[in-house]
Structure 1
Amino acid sequence: MIIVTTDFVPGKEIKELKGLVKGHTVHSKHIGKDILAGLKTIVGGEIKQYSEMMDQARQVAISRMVEEAKNRGANAIIAVRLQSSAIMQNASEIIAYGTAVYVE
């Protein structure tokens, strides 16, 4: 599956639009990681536990978007975007979306 943030795939021609595809996941913080993160805020710096959690959530969302595109017969996804939002205390949603296309 070709995944790009542009509105086209360089060197390829879009033959068919398959429509909007998306994938999302909601991840919550682990209480143990939350305690460590709280301590980290005292001294500053990157909170690696949260960075890893968000990276994993992005991968899940992208995988689900790709699966939907495959089910529609697409071989590429253009104009891909990622978005996150807090949906409740200690939980974030990550959504990946784009336009599924068939290219040659």
Structure 2
Amino acid sequence: MIIVTTDFVPGKEIKELKGFVKGSTIQSKHIGKDIMAGLKNLVGGEIKDYQEMMEKARQLAIGRMVEDAKEKGANAIINVRLQTSSVMANASEIVAYGTAVYVADK
């Protein structure tokens, strides 16, 4: 699956528009990690546990978007975007979305 943030795929021609595709996940914070992050916040620096959690969440959301595109018969997704939002006190949603297309060589 080709995934790009542009509205075209270099060297390819869009043959068919398959439509909007998305994938999402909601991740909650582990209470133990939340306490450690709070302590890290006092002294500063990167909070690696949260960074790893969010990276896994992004990959899961992108994977779900790809599955949505495959089900529509696409071989590429253009205009891909990622969005995150807080859905409650200790949970964040990651959404990956774009336009599924079928591309071929020019």
Q: TM-score, normalised by structure 1?
A: 0.99
Q: CA RMSD in A?
A: 0.3
What's the CA shift string for 1:65-97, capped at 9, x where partnerless?
A: 000000000000000000000000000000000
Shift of 1:19: 0.2
Hey, what does 1:81 align to over in structure 2? 81
Unaligned runs of 5+ in 1: none
SS in 1 for 2:6: coil
| Cα separation, 2, equivalents of 1:13 and 1:80 | 17
Q: SS at 1:13's partner residue?
A: strand
Spell out, residue by residue over 1:30-87, the C-alpha distance to the aligned partner (whole angstroms, 9 max, x if none).
0111011011001001100000000000000000000000000000000000000000
Match of 1:93 in 2: 93
- Report the TM-score, using the length of structure 2 for normalisation: 0.97
User: Which residue pairs with 1:33 in the alignment?
Assistant: 33
Whichever residue aligns with residue 100 of structure 2, its letter is: A
